C-alpha cells in the first residue's frame, strides 16, 4: 500500500510538472509575441520602446481581436518605407509610404466595403500633385491639385449623378 501511494504521488507530480512545462512554454510563446507588440512611445518625432531604445525594423500592431491594425517600417525610431493600415475586419484601409517620418508619394484609402475613396500625393509631408476623392459607391466627387502644399489648377466637384457642379481655378 505504501509503494502504491508513493507511485501515485510520483505520477501525480509528473502530471503536474507536464502541465507546468506546457503552461510555461505557452506563456513563453505568448510573452514573446507580446514583447514584439509592446507599446511604442513617440517622443520628439521618434518612436522608442518602453526601455527608451529607438525602434528599427518592421513593426506590426494588432486590434484586440488579433487582426492586423497596421504594418510599417521604422529606421532609428522614424517612419520610413511602406505603411499599411487595416480595418478591424482585416480589410485594407490605407496604403502609402513614409520618408523621414513624413507622408511621401501616393497614398490610397478604401472604405470598409473595399471601394477606393481617396488617392492623394505627398512630397515629404506636403500635399503635392493630384488628389481624387470618390464617394462610397465609387463615383468621383472631387478632383484637386497641389503644388508644395498650395492649391493650384482647376478644382472640380461632381454631384451624385456625376454632373459637374463646381469648378474653380487656383
Query: Nearest Cα to 129, choosing from 112, 152, 113?
Result: 152
What's the domain count of the chain?
Answer: 2
Q: Are 115 and 121 spatial neighbours (Cβ–Cβ below 8 Å)?
A: no
Q: Are 131 and 107 spatial neighbours (Cβ–Cβ below 8 Å)?
A: no
Considering the domain architecture, whether residues 93 and 51 belong to the same structural domain is answered as yes
Considering the domain architecture, whether residues 30 and 53 belong to the same structural domain is answered as no
Considering the domain architecture, whether residues 47 and 25 belong to the same structural domain is answered as no
Separation between Cα atoms, residue 143 and residue 164, nearest integer Å = 11
Which three-class secondary structure state does DSSP give residue 46? strand
Residue carrying the nine cell digits 529606421: 75
> Which residue ranges of the chain lie beneath pLDDT 70?
1-38
Considering the domain architecture, whether residues 151 and 89 belong to the same structural domain is answered as yes
Considering the domain architecture, whether residues 100 and 23 belong to the same structural domain is answered as no
Considering the domain architecture, whether residues 86 and 18 belong to the same structural domain is answered as no
Q: Going by DSSP bridges, is the β-strand pair 41-43/57-62 parallel, antiparallel, or unpaired?
A: unpaired
Considering the domain architecture, whether residues 83 and 116 belong to the same structural domain is answered as yes
pLDDT given at position 63: 96
Q: What is the CATH number of the domain that holds 131?
A: 3.90.930.1
pLDDT given at position 40: 85
Query: Nearest Cα to 54, choosing from 43, 69, 65?
Result: 43
Considering the domain architecture, whether residues 17 and 87 belong to the same structural domain is answered as no
Considering the domain architecture, whether residues 134 and 76 belong to the same structural domain is answered as yes
Residues 6+ apart with CB under 8 A from 63: 69, 88
Range of the domain at 16: 1-36
Considering the domain architecture, whether residues 11 and 70 belong to the same structural domain is answered as no
pLDDT given at position 39: 79
pLDDT given at position 27: 36
pTM above 0.85, yes or no: no
Considering the domain architecture, whether residues 109 and 134 belong to the same structural domain is answered as yes
Considering the domain architecture, whether residues 50 and 123 belong to the same structural domain is answered as yes
Amino acid at each position: 500500500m505504501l509503494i502504491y501511494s508513493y507511485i501515485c504521488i510520483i505520477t501525480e507530480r509528473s502530471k503536474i510538472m507536464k502541465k507546468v512545462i506546457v503552461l510555461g512554454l505557452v506563456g513563453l510563446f505568448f510573452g514573446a509575441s507580446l514583447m514584439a507588440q509592446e507599446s511604442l512611445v513617440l517622443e520628439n518625432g521618434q518612436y522608442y520602446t518602453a526601455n527608451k531604445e529607438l525602434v528599427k525594423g518592421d513593426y506590426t500592431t494588432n486590434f484586440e481581436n488579433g487582426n492586423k491594425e497596421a504594418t510599417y517600417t521604422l529606421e532609428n525610431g522614424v517612419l520610413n518605407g511602406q505603411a499599411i493600415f487595416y480595418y478591424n475586419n482585416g480589410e485594407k484601409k490605407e496604403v502609402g509610404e513614409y520618408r523621414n517620418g513624413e507622408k511621401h508619394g501616393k497614398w490610397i484609402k478604401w472604405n470598409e466595403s473595399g471601394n477606393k475613396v481617396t488617392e492623394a500625393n505627398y512630397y515629404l509631408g506636403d500635399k503635392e500633385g493630384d488628389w481624387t476623392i470618390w464617394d462610397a459607391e465609387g463615383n468621383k466627387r472631387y478632383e484637386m491639385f497641389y503644388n508644395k502644399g498650395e492649391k493650384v489648377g482647376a478644382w472640380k466637384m461632381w454631384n451624385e449623378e456625376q454632373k459637374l457642379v463646381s469648378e474653380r481655378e487656383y
